[in-house]
Amino acid sequence: MTLLTAVFTPFRPDGGLDLDVVGDQADALAAWGTRGVYVGGTAGEGASMTTAERMALLERWCEVAAGRFDVIAHIGHTSLAEARDLAAHARDAGVQAISAVPPYFHRPPDAAAVADFFARVTQAAPDVPFIYYHIPGVTGVTVPASEVLTAARDRIPTFAGIKFAHDDLADLQRCLELADDRYELYVGSARLLLATMGIGARAAIGSAYNFAAPVFLRMIEHVERGELREARACQFLAQSAIDTAVAFGGELAGFKAAANLVGPDCGPCRPPLRSPGPAQVAELRDRLDALGLLAVAPSR
């Protein structure tokens, strides 16, 4: 199992981009061996950023990641023209792949519409692999990923796989069978990592790896050694940390706060999300430390 990290976007207290932090983020991720970063997606709050901000952020990540790990750029947008501009920019910036959610206001009604939309988007980056981002709980696009895979492989020359952020393991299993080693399936839910390994998943992209990568890496090692009891214990420990973080502002705000405790401080989330305040962060630190998962963060 290969882990890639969906990185948080660093913001200053006033909400502006803080690109100086990106280098420190990259150093921290390289230290534990991430194989790649997913920039400007759900964790990166791409939908809350301007196109110019997304481009500037991506350029910085490509600079700091060069020679250390891959960069996947999320270029999803409700506007076809904006998505094409983001795709062309990502190609010029030197990414290893582009990825996108489907339009989530005027939604595509079926798999053919999804594939046709991205066939037009990817024409702007005709030599860059494309990864479809399936996250129906956020986009409201409930077309099964397996149907999109079938449609995309015939319509999108650069189609390379799917980031699967859903709890429908039956659909994931169908995707794995259809992929047949030609396409990669990236598990998008750290909560289900062990379960998905059991049905053949071999890669994952997630934001929990910003703060809990060590326990997931130990879990993977236990699986490789056939130590399933120990692997289950690791997954349970990670799940406890995830549940704890979620209680402090929801998944994104809580995860970002947890990551700020153990790595570079990426600041708050942008509105309408609410980041935990100082007292809540102190409580979060105590709870995570009580789990024995995370080191106590230094005072800020």
Three-class SS state of 36: strand
Q: Give the closest residue to 256 by CA, choosing from 216, 215, 192, 207.
A: 207
Nearest to 82 by CA among 52, 105, 113: 52
Q: Given 38, 133, 183, 209, which residue is catalytic? A: 133
Residues 6 or more apart whose CB falls under 8 angstroms from that of 282 comprise: none
Instruction: Output the CA torsion sign for 150, 151, 153, 159.
Output: negative
Task: Answer yes or no: 256 catalytic.
Answer: no
Going by C-alpha positions, the residue among 43, 68, 30 that lies closest to residue 208 is 43
Structure-block tokens of residue 170: 């039956």
Known active-site residue 209: no
Report the alpha-carbon distance of residue 185 to residue 272 in Å, rounded: 31
CB 37 within 8 A of CB 69: yes
From the candidates 132, 163, 209, 256, give the one annotated as an active-site residue. Answer: 163
Q: How far is Cα 152 from Cα 119, in angstroms, rounded to an integer?
A: 8
Question: Which residues carry out catalysis?
Answer: 133, 163
